[in-house]
């Protein structure tokens, strides 16, 4: 009888945690930032100095759902395969620079596939 109680309690706890996680992701979370509250402290990386002459093409994306530096790093990493330099600035701006013309739709699709909403894209 005690065995059934222990298994039932463990099962109830697992269901509770699962439901809580699903609700969190449904509210726009899911990145580990708990909806804007950063849970871990990390050292901010040094800003890169980007020569504007070498990267003349610029695209500015307004991104929804980017709450923390973890979100910013995820977006920067997602854009990297497009052969661009992305710099995400909180709260919700991503500057994309390239040596070649930038495809707005491709950048927007990559950001959406990463789990964020592109509100506006201006060249």
Q: How many domains, the chain?
A: 1
Q: What is the pLDDT of residues 81-92, one digit of tens each?
A: 888 888 888 888
Whether 116 is in a domain gets the answer yes
94: helix, strand or coil: strand
- Whether omega before 91 lies within 30 degrees of 0, making that bond cis, reads yes
Whether 79 is in a domain gets the answer yes
For strand 93-98 and strand 57-64, is the pairing parallel, antiparallel, or unpaired? antiparallel
Identify the H or E element spanning 108. helix 104-113
Q: Is the pLDDT of residue 36 over 60?
A: no
Q: Is the pLDDT of residue 40 over 70?
A: no
Separation CA 53–CA 91 (nearest Å): 27
Whether 39 is in a domain gets the answer no
CATH code of the domain covering residue 79: 3.30.70.100
Q: What is the DSSP letter of 3?
A: H
Whether 6 is in a domain gets the answer no
Q: Is the pLDDT of residue 93 over 60?
A: yes
* Residue-range definition of the domain harbouring residue 103: 57-122
Query: Residue 79 — pLDDT band, cuts 50, 70, 90?
Result: confident
């Amino acid at each position: 009888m005690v065995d059934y109680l222990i298994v039932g309690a463990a099962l109830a706890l697992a269901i509770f945690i699962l439901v809580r996680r699903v609700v969190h992701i449904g509210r726009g979370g899911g990145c580990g930032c708990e909806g804007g509250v950063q849970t871990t402290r990390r050292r901010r990386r040094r800003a890169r100095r980007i020569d504007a002459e070498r990267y003349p093409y610029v695209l500015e994306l307004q991104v929804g759902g980017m709450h923390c530096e973890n979100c910013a790093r995820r977006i920067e990493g997602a854009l990297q395969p497009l052969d661009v330099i992305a710099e995400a600035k909180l709260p919700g701006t991503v500057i994309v620079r390239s040596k070649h013309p930038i495809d707005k739709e491709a950048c927007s699709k990559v950001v959406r596939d990463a789990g964020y909403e592109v509100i506006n894209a201006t060249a």
